[in-house]
Structures are given as structure tokens and as C-alpha cells.
């Protein structure tokens, strides 16, 4: 994609775009491909990006995590076995296996 299209889509000035591009290169997250004007994610960039995806999922579904937390602080005498209810709620609401594992610890 060309820089002017990216700038328009994310509402950046050309100066801000190139500053951010330079920072990504400087930090090793993207690399220039073979002397052309094309850039690709570096290995480090791929790792960082793949770790940001679960965070974005959590932020997009924050209400689900709040509901799970509310169940965890409920009185056990009212609902019986809260742990089973919370586990079932996690299975129902959370669709990412990696996040399910974290929540069930």
C-alpha cells in the first residue's frame, strides 16, 4: 500500500507517518525489502504483533472479563460452587484457547 493511502486511512500527516516508520525500523520491527520501497515485518515484528493480538482481543471483549471477575467475587454460599460456574463461563464467553488457559490457572 502506498504511503499517501496509509496516511489518509489512519489520519496521519506525512511527517508523522515517516517518523513512525523510522521508529519501527530503528526498533527492528520492520525491515526494508531489497532496496525497494516495500517494507515487511521482521522476525521480531512478527513476535511482537502475534503477542499484541491476544491483548487486542481482551480489550475488544473487556465486558466478558468483567463478567467473569464479578462471578469470582460472588458469595459461594449463594451459588454453591463458584469455581465450576466461572469455568463454564470462561468456556462459553472466551473463544481464544491461549486466554482460556490463562484464566483457568
Strands (E), 1-105: 30-32, 39-41
Query: Which of 23-37, 65-79, 89-103 is predicted most confidently?
Result: 23-37
* Nearest CA among 47, 52, 55 for reference residue 99: 55
Q: Which residue has the higher pLDDT, 81 or 9?
A: 9
d(CA 70, CA 97): 21
The pTM for the full model equals 0.65
Q: Which residue has the higher pLDDT, 41 or 81?
A: 41
Residues 68/89, Cβ–Cβ less than 8 Å: yes
Amino acid at each position: 500500500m502506498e504511503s499517501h493511502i496509509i496516511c489518509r486511512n489512519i489520519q496521519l500527516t506525512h511527517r508523522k507517518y515517516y517518523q513512525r516508520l523510522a521508529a519501527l525500523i530503528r526498533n527492528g520491527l520492520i525491515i526494508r525489502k531489497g532496496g525497494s520501497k516495500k517494507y515487511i515485518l521482521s522476525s521480531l515484528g512478527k513476535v511482537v504483533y502475534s503477542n499484541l493480538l491476544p491483548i487486542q482481543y481482551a480489550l475488544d471483549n473487556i465486558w466478558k472479563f468483567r463478567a467473569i471477575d464479578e462471578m469470582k467475587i460472588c458469595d459461594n454460599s449463594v451459588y454453591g460452587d463458584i469455581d465450576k460456574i466461572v469455568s463454564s463461563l470462561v468456556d462459553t464467553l472466551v473463544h481464544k484457547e491461549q486466554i482460556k488457559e490463562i484464566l483457568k490457572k
